[in-house]
């Protein structure tokens, strides 16, 4: 069968690539065309556009990029009709994907959603749009199934693919040596995100806390789809190391972490690394988001746990003074560290292990036959 996939960011690229590999085990004749990233392309899809070309971080940025957005949407619609897939599989990225879903539905193309858009967070009324244009929804967080059930929408809970990916990750034995990280220095992992807009909003502040922690090595988790020279602008001390596409190895060796909100917060928790969650955007985007958001937390760790497990430094609270204090808590306060790790253990218990991508692939092929 022919599959058309759309993922709009790095985490979606990762999970979509794993889904593609799982689909091949269920459908040996599978063909893929996609909007996504390097990992989806490596898994065998014909890449139409890279998600970096479409990266938009906040409401203000989206408003100023509206012509670019419309151009991509029209191109995607034309390409979708020309390809004639058996199914359109969407991965998160609601602003773009729900518009494509509506178009596909109008033209008789089946629409499946792998990893629900976060409509439960900021625009719950969109659930009615989802019900109208999405034939099958596969969710990866326990509370998402409960959310959709409140609106009479039956979805498939497949477990969390991040849990599976971490369980299957093979630890590197030469991470420090390979990246020239001093053996005697504990590591602070710095996860600033994967898009230039968010990196530039986060990384300068994250690295401003360096002076009180000179006995630590700050290791930035870079992504290879951004030029390494771009990151060199931030490497202004011997206490800063840049590693590319080695986030899981980094977290396995880290003593603490500063993490931009997103999937990385959950990954950090699953590696049992004490963390502080950070987020900042333009004042216009933040003001709009604050008015719309319907959930009490921004990090997946706190949302899944249903309580504050990790400190969230958002917008005005995301500053050097607060960051230094929270780093001291997660690095030097034994009681604080023990409490956070105990909450992590409860989180892992709640998420369990499910082989999510394989389960989704089996369901997808079954629904299409």
Residue 190 sits in the same domain as residue 303: yes
Residue 135 sits in the same domain as residue 264: no
Q: SS in 3 state form for 307-351?
A: CCCCEEEEHHHCCHHHHHHHHHHHHHCHHHHHHHHHHHHHHHHHH
Q: Answer yes or no: are the C-beta atoms of 143 and 166 closer than 8 Å.
A: no
Q: Quick one: pLDDT band at residue 173, thresholds 50, 70, 90?
A: confident
pLDDT over threshold 50, residue 57? no
Cα angle at 90 between 86 and 92, to 5 degrees?
Answer: 170
Residue 40 sits in the same domain as residue 92: yes
Burial class (CB in 10 A: 0-12, 13-18, 19+), 268: buried
pLDDT, one tens digit per residue, over 122-137 is 777 789 999 999 999 9
DSSP 199-259: HHHHHHHHHTT-GGGTTSEEEEEE-TTS-HHHHHTT--STTEEEEES-HHHHHHH-SEEEE
Residue 32 sits in the same domain as residue 70: yes
Residue 217 sits in the same domain as residue 231: yes
Residue 188 sits in the same domain as residue 335: yes
Residue 189 sits in the same domain as residue 139: no
Which whole-number Å values give the CA distances from 139 to 89, 118, 217, 309, in the listed order?
13, 10, 37, 23
The CATH number for 53's domain is 3.40.50.2000
Q: Quick one: pLDDT band at residue 294, thresholds 50, 70, 90?
A: low
Q: Quick one: pLDDT band at residue 262, thresholds 50, 70, 90?
A: confident
Residue 196 sits in the same domain as residue 237: yes
Query: What pLDDT score was predicted for residue 64?
Result: 54
pLDDT over threshold 50, residue 59? no
Highest mean pLDDT among 100-114, 164-178, 269-283: 100-114
pLDDT, one tens digit per residue, over 20-55 is 999 999 999 999 999 999 999 999 999 999 988 876
Residue 183 sits in the same domain as residue 292: yes
Cα separation of 33 and 174, whole Å? 36
Cα separation of 202 and 280, whole Å? 7
Residue 93 sits in the same domain as residue 183: no
pLDDT over threshold 90, residue 63? no
Query: What pLDDT score was predicted for residue 94?
Result: 86
Residue 122 sits in the same domain as residue 204: no
Domain total in the chain? 2
Query: What pLDDT score was predicted for residue 197?
Result: 81
Cα dihedral across residues 281, 286, 290, 292: positive or negative: negative
3-class secondary-structure state, position 283:
helix
pLDDT, one tens digit per residue, over 201-217 is 899 999 999 999 999 99
Instruction: Provide the mean pLDDT of the chain.
Output: 92
Expressed as residue numbers, the domain containing 221 is 168-351
Q: Model-level pTM? A: 0.85
Q: In what order do the strands lie in the sheet with 136-139?
A: 46-50, 31-36, 2-7, 87-91, 110-114, 136-139, 156-157
pLDDT over threshold 50, residue 67? yes
| 189 DSSP 8-state letter | E
Residue 173 sits in the same domain as residue 286: yes
Which residue carries 């178009």 as its tokens? 103
Cα dihedral across residues 203, 116, 167, 46: positive or negative: negative
């Amino acid at each position: 069968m022919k599959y058309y996939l759309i993922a709009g960011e790095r985490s979606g690229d990762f999970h979509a690539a794993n889904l593609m590999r799982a689909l091949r085990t269920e459908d040996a004749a599978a063909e893929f065309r996609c909007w996504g990233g390097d990992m989806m392309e490596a898994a065998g899809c014909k890449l139409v556009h890279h998600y970096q070309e479409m990266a938009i971080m906040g409401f203000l940025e989206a408003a100023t990029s509206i012509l670019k957005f419309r151009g991509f949407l029209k191109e995607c619609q034309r390409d979708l009709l020309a390809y004639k897939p058996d199914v359109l599989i969407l991965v998160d990225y609601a602003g773009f994907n729900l518009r494509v879903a509506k178009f596909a539905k109008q033209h008789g193309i089946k629409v499946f959603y792998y990893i629900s858009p976060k409509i439960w967070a900021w625009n719950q009324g969109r659930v009615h749009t989802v019900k109208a244009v999405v034939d099958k929804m596969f969710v990866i967080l326990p509370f998402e199934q409960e959310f959709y059930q409140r609106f009479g929408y039956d979805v498939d809970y497949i477990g969390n693919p991040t849990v599976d990916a971490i369980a299957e990750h093979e630890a590197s034995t030469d991470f420090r040596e390979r990246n020239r990280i001093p053996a005697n220095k504990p590591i602070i992992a710095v996860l600033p995100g994967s898009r230039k807009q968010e990196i530039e909003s986060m990384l300068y502040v994250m690295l401003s806390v360096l002076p009180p922690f000179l006995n630590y090595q700050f290791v930035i988790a870079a992504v290879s789809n951004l030029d390494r020279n771009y990151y060199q602008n931030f490497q202004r001390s011997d206490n800063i190391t840049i590693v590319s596409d080695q986030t899981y190895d980094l977290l396995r060796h880290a003593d603490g972490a500063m993490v931009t909100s997103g999937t990385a917060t959950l990954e950090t928790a699953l590696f049992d690394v004490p963390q502080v969650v950070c987020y900042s955007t333009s004042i216009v985007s933040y003001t709009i988001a604050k008015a719309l958001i319907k959930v009490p937390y921004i990090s997946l760790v706190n949302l899944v746990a249903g309580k504050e497990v990790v400190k969230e430094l958002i917008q005005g609270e995301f500053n050097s003074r607060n960051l230094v204090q929270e780093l001291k808590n997660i690095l030097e306060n034994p009681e604080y560290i023990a409490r956070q790790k105990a909450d992590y253990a409860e989180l892992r218990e709640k998420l369990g292990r499910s082989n999510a991508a394989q389960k989704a692939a089996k369901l997808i092929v079954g629904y299409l036959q």
